[in-house]
């Protein structure tokens, strides 16, 4: 189990949570192996820092370094054999959290078994639900238990950055959780340079900046450029530049990733150019400024297919229902 970690994904009924986790892990270890247990649970065997992945993820609700994967009926025996003293100090404060995806009422029983097993190995360990140094974390699904430990529980407050909470609002703005997921799909690492060439109110720039990515935004509308900058400033973030320019005449030579949400409908003016034509021309531009192997994530209406893709491989396509007349497609391109 040395490098095995497990993750609990949010139940979005979409392919995005699994794809996002895969992309973040591959960013740090491209040889990691993935085992899909079910729609919400994944085991990953790889060399990466659990906390880094959990901190930047939009859709992984929790995770742990794997200690045991057993049947519920064997759980007590299995937990008793865990050497908690190998990764916890005797005076540690700890908590046990169980996420129960089954319909059996087992959480309390499991938490109490874990508490007793830890105390047996570490008599001076103290339970602290408020501020534990170590967390023993379990997921119950069907008749199975996955148990592990972590020192980080995700606490994300997306609502602080929802479009209406920002100083500059426009109805085309993306929700922060979705924007973070897009950034993560692009396989960017801390210090890389990400471009959003249709940046609007700056949702992608904000989420990328928070996780340590350098950003550049472009928008053909001066009002949007100013709004993006105001929004970044509001969260005490900075972009390397928000440039008032046409994305079809990119004033940039080299970027590590492109993440963008192209204009469509009345909300996001594309200055009379059809989204389809804009996209086709843009993909040619993107090709010129990206090194091989890098990712370009494009959000567009699902009624449109991307063409002109000779130098890009279409790695994935996801769909997210927004309302009756809009389902968003997310196309993940990788430069060949
Ligand atoms: C769908 S909105 C982007 C919304 C953004 N993701 C957000 O969360 O606020 C598309 C943006 O593309 C801009 N735009 C339209 N045509 C453009 C072009 N040719 N070059 C650059 N930006 C353009 C629009 O002004 C609009 O702000």
Q: Return the ∠ at Cα 179 (arms to 59 and 281), rounded to 5°.
A: 130
HSE-CB for 176 with a 13 A CA cutoff: 22
What structural domains does the chain harbor?
4-150 (3.30.2130.30), 159-335 (3.40.50.150)
Instruction: Band the pLDDT of 13: cuts 50, 70, 90.
Output: confident
Q: How far is the CA of 252 from the centre of ligand 1 (A)?
A: 17
Find the helix packing angle between 203-210 and 176-185, rounded to 10°.
70
Structure tokens at 130: 């408020």
What are the strands of the beta sheet with 4-9, ordered from one edge?
A: 33-38, 41-45, 4-9, 60-71, 144-150, 134-141, 93-100, 126-127
Give the span between the Cα atoms of 21 and 184, in whole angstroms. Answer: 8
pLDDT digits (tens, 9 = 90+) for 156-175: 899 999 999 999 999 999 99
| C-alpha dist (Å) from residue 247 to 73, 199, 250, 281 | 59, 10, 5, 9
Strand, helix or coil for residue 56: helix
Give the span between the Cα atoms of 233 and 219, in whole angstroms. Answer: 17
DSSP 306: -
| C-alpha dist (Å) from residue 293 to 153, 204, 206, 261, 306 | 32, 21, 24, 21, 19
Give the pLDDT score at 270: 55
| C-alpha dist (Å) from residue 245 to 165, 196, 198, 217 | 27, 12, 10, 10
Structure tokens at 32: 């990691």
Q: Which atom of ligand 1 is nearest to the CA of 261?
A: 6
**What is the C-alpha R_g of the chain?**
22
Q: Is the pLDDT of residue 238 over 80?
A: yes
Is there an atom of ligand 1 within 6 Å of 219 CB? yes
Q: Is the pLDDT of residue 26 over 80?
A: yes
Q: Is the pLDDT of residue 317 over 90?
A: yes
Q: How far is the CA of 200 from the centre of ligand 1 (A)?
A: 5
CB 1, CB 43: distance < 8 Å: no
pLDDT digits (tens, 9 = 90+) for 76-132: 999 999 999 998 998 999 999 999 999 999 999 999 999 999 999 999 999 998 889
Which stretch of DSSP H or E encloses residue 52? helix 50-56
Atom 7 of ligand 1 has which residue's CA nearest to it? 173
Q: How far is the CA of 37 from the centre of ligand 1 (A)?
A: 39
Give the pLDDT score at 274: 82
Give the span between the Cα atoms of 100 and 38, in whole angstroms. Answer: 14
| Cα 40 to chain centroid, rounded | 14
Give the pLDDT score at 271: 59
Atom 27 of ligand 1 has which residue's CA nearest to it? 200
Instruction: Band the pLDDT of 308: cuts 50, 70, 90.
Output: low
């Amino acid at each position: 189990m040395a490098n095995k970690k497990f993750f609990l994904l949010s139940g979005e009924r979409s392919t995005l949570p699994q794809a996002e986790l895969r992309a973040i892990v591959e960013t740090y270890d491209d040889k990691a192996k993935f085992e899909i247990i079910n729609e919400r649970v994944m085991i990953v065997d790889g060399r990466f820092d659990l906390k880094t992945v959990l901190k930047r993820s939009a859709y992984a609700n929790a995770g742990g370094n794997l200690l045991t994967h057993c049947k519920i009926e064997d759980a007590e025996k299995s937990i008793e054999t865990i050497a908690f003293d190998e990764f916890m100090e005797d005076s540690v404060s700890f908590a046990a959290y169980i996420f129960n995806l089954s319909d059996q009422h087992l959480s309390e029983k499991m938490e109490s078994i874990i508490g007793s097993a830890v105390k047996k190995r570490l008599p001076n360990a103290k339970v602290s639900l408020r501020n534990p140094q170590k967390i023993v974390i379990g997921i119950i699904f069907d008749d199975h238990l996955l148990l592990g430990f972590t020192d980080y529980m995700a606490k994300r407050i997306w609502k602080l950055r929802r479009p209406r909470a920002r100083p500059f609002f426009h109805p085309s703005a993306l929700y922060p959780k979705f924007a973070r997921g897009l950034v993560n799909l692009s396989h960017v690492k801390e210090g890389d340079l990400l471009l959003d060439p249709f940046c609007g109110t700056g949702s992608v720039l904000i989420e990328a900046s928070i996780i340590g990515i350098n950003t550049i935004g472009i928008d053909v509308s001066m009002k949007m450029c100013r709004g993006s900058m105001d929004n970044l400033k509001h969260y005490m973030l900075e972009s390397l530049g928000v440039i008032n320019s046409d994305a079809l005449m990119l004033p940039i030579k080299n970027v590590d990733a492109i993440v963008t949400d192209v204009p469509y409908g009345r909300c996001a003016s594309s200055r009379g150019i059809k989204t389809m034509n804009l996209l086709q021309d843009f993909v040619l531009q993107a090709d010129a400024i990206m090194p091989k192997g890098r990712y370009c994530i494009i959000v567009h209406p699902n009624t449109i297919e991307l063409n002109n893709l000779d130098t890009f491989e279409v790695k994935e396509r996801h769909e997210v229902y927004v309302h009756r007349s809009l389902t968003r497609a997310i196309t993940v391109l990788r430069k060949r």
